[in-house]
Structures are given as C-alpha cells and as structure tokens.
Chain A
C-alpha cells in the first residue's frame, strides 16, 4: 500500500484519499473545523493547514501522495491555528457562558485543545439579530464561522438548499434562502442533516436546551483531538484504541 510521512509516522492511504482522511483513518489527528468526514472538503477554515514537502497547504483538500513529507504537530503550525481560532472568536459574537452549544462546540473545543487562553484580537461586537421565527429551530447568526456545512448538508443530503453564504470577504455571511429571509418560510425540518451538522451554536433545536448539563457534554469527556479519531471512518484494523 502507498504511504506518506506525517510528523515522521508512516500513514498508509488508498488512491483518492486526502491527507486528512488517511491521517484520521490511521489514528493521527490533524486539527480541523470546516472538514467533516461525510462531506466534500470545503478548505475554507485553514485550521488543518500542514506543511507538505515544506509548503503550507490545507490537509483536507490535499490528495495523499506516496512519499509526501507532511508536518502537522509543530509549534509553528499550532501557533497559526491558535491565531485562526482567535480570529474566528473576534469576528463573531461567541459568548460561551450563554450558549447552548457550549461543551458540544467544535470551535470552543479547538480553543481548549490548542490552549487558546486569550482573546488575542479586539472583538468586532457586531449587531446581529437572531431568527427565532421557526417553531422548532433557532438561528443565531452571532456564532457563524462560515464553515458552509449547513449549506452543503441542506443541498447534498436534505435536497432543500435552505442556506447560502452571501457577500465577499469580511461581508461574507450566512443567509436563509427564502424571499423573506426567515427560517419559518423554508421547508427545513428539525430532523434535517443541516440542523445536526452545525459545529457551533448557530442552528439550534428548540426546547432541548441544557437537557444535557454543562460538564457532561461531548468535549467535556475527552478533548476534540481524541473525539475526532473516534468519529473518523476507518477500517476495523485501524480502529483507534
């Protein structure tokens, strides 16, 4: 089987696999946010940036190649990842103490695991309204990290196209594909993949808030670096202990 080197470890891969797919399948974690094993890579968050033969590249879009030398767990790359997490916190309103997603949030869990201790940047404190129009689903735009997972899930899995990203650069934002712009005027259902897949606290199911107490949630039990390996699709012989 073909293989490449990740931080000195030999990683086997199958043709067509990306570096992150092969790494996770072999039990090696590379930090990531917009990458999701069930969806085509988007390559926008840059958390999974590695050095491949010395060049910085997103591991989620990089096809695995035999003999490639990949560096990921370096102080330089983890410093850059911490900065990216700080920038995501700065450009939204991520107020963890009042967020239902706390403990289940991928952005927060990345901050914990990478050891992000400070705000780093002056926060934008944007005025973003929430959309509570839907009877079963709350939409809180304050926490969006533009990972596009809900857009991808609604199109590819639910076949509905409820969400889109509009605008460019700093103006980029999540919008609802309805003339009114309101979630109530779409055919989204609480059972949709788009609802489940949000890694942060934007798309929330109503009336289940805090059913699982803070302290007993997904990333309370184990850090995201361990949880991501648990979640990664892999062959039984690669099962991570």
Chain B
C-alpha cells in the first residue's frame, strides 16, 4: 500500500447501486474506515475520473461501451481491483437478457410494445452503445478479488476491506459468502 492514507475508488457499471447501499450499511464503521482511507472517484465524492488508487471496487457487470471504458480506467489506476456483488461477479440480473437478441429487445421495448406512439430506438451520440451480451467484469479486465452476493452484506464488504487494508488476503467464511 502507498504512503499515508489508502486511496479507494468505487463505481457502479450495469448495477443498481444496491452494493453501494450495502457498503454504506457498514454504518459507524465508516468513521474507522475514513481514519485510514481517502476516497477518489466514487458516487460518494462525485469525483468523475479515477486517479491512482490502492483499491478499486466495481459494482455491476459490463453492458455497454462506457462500462468498458470506466472498467479499463479503474484497472489502469487501481493496484487491487475487487468485483463487488453478483452483477460484477457473474453478470447478475442484467445478464438475464443474454439469451435474448439485443436487436429484438430494442425493437420490442421501443417500437412494437403495445401502447407506443411514434416509438423510436434511442440513437443519441451521447448514449453509450449497448453490448450484445452483459459480461462479468473479469471477462474484460483482470480482477484480483470477488465478493459475491446480491448485494454482499455490509459485514462481507467490511471484512474484505479490513483484510486488504491490513495487507491480508481477504477471506469470507460461513455466513459472509452468499449468492443471493
């Protein structure tokens, strides 16, 4: 770990921010954490770009071109990258579209769904292009540690963070490993 405070960055890709909510569920332990760490890019600081960090936490899978870019930036900047939650680990709920054709999905949602008038498939250049499938993050970059769970419990997140900050290999025992 670097001199002084440990820098942590977090991001939600194709996720629901539930893992971030669970992270906040460490409650008053946030004070202990803030004594040791500083936050870089995260929805908590509203910093938009990730600088050099010790630990990166990624919630959500990879469903569009922007997710790929953010994830690669995290990998470049973070010494340790952690997949946080079911979607980052396996693709999770968004990946439940993977057995369907993305074109057919867009057609149905924006064009042929009953009740739509003058529907059109969004095509603004600012919108990131969706990928044909949703991927777990380890299919795009190397991931050092995984915390499964939808979401992982605050205790599981706390255990991994405190293990990493103390320089230990994170270990989750019975009750902390969960897939639901």
A122–B140 CA distance with the chains assembled, in angstroms: 12
**For the complex, what is the distance from the CA of A135 to the CA of B160, rounded to whole Å?**
45
Q: 8 Å CB contacts to A: which residues of B84-128?
A: 86, 89-93, 95-96, 98-100
Whether A223 contacts B174 in the complex (CB less than 8 A), given A96-B179, A108-B179, comes out as: yes
Is there contact, CB below 8 Å, between A119 and B92? Answer: no
B139 contacts partner chain A, Cβ-Cβ < 8 Å: yes
How far, in Å, is B15 (CB) from chain A's closest CB?
12
CB distance from A129 to the nearest CB of B (A): 11
Q: Are B86 and A97 in contact (CB under 8 A)?
A: yes
Chain A residue nearest in CB terms to B90 = A119
Interface residues on chain A, number (Cβ under 8 Å): 27
| Contact across chains for B150 and A123 when beta carbons are under 8 A apart | no
Interface residues of A in 93-118 (CB under 8 A from B): 93, 95-99, 102-103, 108, 111-113, 115-118
CB atoms of A112 and B96 under 8 A apart? no
Partner of A96, one of B98, B136, B175, B180: B180
B92 and A117 contact, CB distance less than 8 A:
no
| A209-B148 Cα distance, complex, nearest whole Å | 23
Contact of B174 among A89, A99, A112 (CB under 8 A): A112
Q: A118–B96 contact, CB under 8 A?
A: no
Q: Report B149-170 CB contacts with A as 1/0, cut-off 8 Å.
A: 0100000000000000000000
Say whether A214 faces chain B, with CB atoms less than 8 Å apart: yes
Tell me whether chain A's interface is mostly helix, strand or loop, or mixed. loop
Pairwise interchain contact B180-A99, C-beta atoms closer than 8 A? yes
Q: Which residues of B contact A75 (CB under 8 A)?
A: none
How many residues does chain B have at the interface if contact means C-beta atoms less than 8 Å apart? 29
Within A7-45, the residues touching B (CB, 8 Å) are none
* Residues in chain A near residue B172, CB distance under 8 A: 115, 117
Contact in complex: B179, A125 (CB < 8 Å) = no
Alpha-carbon distance between A99 and B98 when the two chains are bound, in angstroms: 18
For the complex, what is the distance from the CA of A95 to the CA of B86, rounded to whole Å? 9
Q: Chain A contacts of B99 at CB under 8 A?
A: 93, 125-127
Known: A96-B180, A119-B138. A125 touches B95 (CB 8 A): yes
Within 29-77 of B, Cβ neighbours of A (below 8 Å) are at none
Contact at A97–B150, with CB atoms within 8 Å?
Answer: yes
Q: How far is the CA of A116 from the CA of B90 in the complex (A)?
A: 12
With both chains docked as a complex, state the minimum distance between the C-beta of B125 and any C-beta of chain A, in angstroms: 30
Interface positions of A (Cβ within 8 A of B):
89, 93, 95-99, 102-103, 108, 111-113, 115-119, 122-123, 125-127, 214, 220, 222-223
